[in-house]
Amino acid sequence: MKYRFADLADIPKLQELMGSLFWLTDIAIGIIEADGTFLFCAGWRGACVNDGQNSCDCHAFISANLDPVSYTCRRCPTGMLHYACPIVVDGDHLASVYIGQFFTEPPDELAIRLEAAQRGLDPDEYRRRLAKIPVIPPMRLTLLLKYLKDLANMLADIGLQRRQQMETLEILRLSQERLQYLSCHDPLTGLRNRSHFEEQLAAMDKMQFVPTAVMILDLDGLKQVNDSLGHQTGDLLLKAAANIIREAAPAESTVSRIGGDEFAILLTDADPALMETVRQRIEARVLHYNAEHPALPVGISAGTAIATSKPLSMRELFKQADANMYQHKKSRKLTAGKDTP
C-alpha cells in the first residue's frame, strides 16, 4: 500500500512543535509532501508572497524542485534563502522538511530596488517587509542545515515505524476478515459451510418461519472421479456443481456445502412451484455445462421438503429432503440403467 507522509505522522502535533520552533528562531519551517503540496508552514511571511500578480516564485520553486536525495535550495534575488531536506522512508521519498526566509547577510539595497521594480512593489514597503526577515551568521547556517537533516532523518524513522505498525495492523485485519469468512464459508466453493447451515437451521426453528423449504443436493460420482482422476479433478467438479447450484438458487436463499459432495438450499416464503422452478434451473444448467464439458460431466441429485405449518422441526424437514434426494438418485440410476456412484 502506498502511503503519504500525512498518513504516517501526527500533522497537528508537528505543526504545533514547528510553530514553537518558529517563535524561538524566527525562521519559517514546515513540511512539504513529495508531490510539492505544503502540508503547513509556520512563519511564512509576506516578504515572499503578495496577493495577485506580485507574488514571487519561491514557494512554487521549492514545491516543484524537491530533491529525493539531497537538499533543495532556493536563493531569492535579494539573497533570501530557502532549504528543503527529503524525508525518505524505506527508500520512498514521502516528504521534505522546509526551512527558509532568512538571510546570511543583509540584503543589498540595489537588489531590493530591482526586485521591487520587477514585482511592481513599492520599494519602501518592500524594504520594510524584508527588515522583518532574520539575518543569521554563516556558521549558524551550517548548524541549521545539520539540524534540518537530523530532523528529516528522525521524521523518516518515525514514519517507518508508523508504516510498519500500519502494515502489521492491516495484515491482522485481513487475517481476521479471512478467519471470519472461513468460519462460515467453504474455502473450496465459496458457499456457506456446514457450521453456518446448522446455525441457520437453529435460527429458523426459533423464528418459526413458514413456509420454509429445504433442498438437499448430492454431486454424483465424486468418489469415482477422485479415485480415478485425482482430487484436483474432483475439486473442479465440486466447484462446477457449486456454481450451478448458486446460479440456480433464488437470490434470497442460503446455499451451503454441507458435506464432501452434499449441498443444501434454505429458503423461506417458498412453495412447491418455486422449488420445482429451482430444480428445473439446476437441471438446465447441468445440461448446458455437460454440453460444454463432455469429458467431465456433472450429475446432481436433488430432494426437496417444504413446511407450510410449524409442527415439523427443521431437523425433520432436513431428513425429509435428504430422503427425497436419495429417492431421486435411485430413480436416476434406474432410468440410466446403470449404477451412479
Looking at the chain, the whole-number percentage of residues with pLDDT higher than 90 is 70
Q: Count CA atoms within 13 Å of residue 199 on its CB side.
A: 10
- Give the tens place of pLDDT for each residue, 121-140: 899 989 998 999 999 998 99
Residue 99 parent element (H or E): strand 92-102
Each residue of 156-196: pLDDT tens digit?
Answer: 999 999 999 999 998 999 899 888 998 999 999 999 999 99
pLDDT bin (cut points 50, 70, 90) of residue 58 is confident
**Percent of the chain whose predicted confidence (pLDDT) is above 70:** 95
Cell 437453529: give the residue.
202
Query: Quick one: cell of 102?
Result: 532568512
Amino acid 152: pLDDT = 95
User: What's residue 339's pLDDT?
Assistant: 47
Give how far the C-alpha of residue 156 lies from the chain's centroid of Cα atoms, to the nearest Å. 24
Residue 108 pLDDT exceeds 60: yes
Question: Cell 532574520 identifies what position?
Answer: 134
74-96 mean pLDDT: 94
| Contact between residue 12 and residue 40 where contact means Cβ atoms under 8 Å apart | no
- Report pLDDT digits (tens) over 229-270: 999 999 999 999 999 999 999 999 999 999 999 999 999 888
Indicate left, alpha or beta for 160 from its phi (over 0: left) and psi (-120 to 50: alpha).
Answer: alpha
Longest alpha-carbon distance in the chain: 109
Q: Tell me the three-class secondary structure of 282-308, residue by residue.
A: HHHHHHHHHHHCCCCCCCEEEEEEEEC
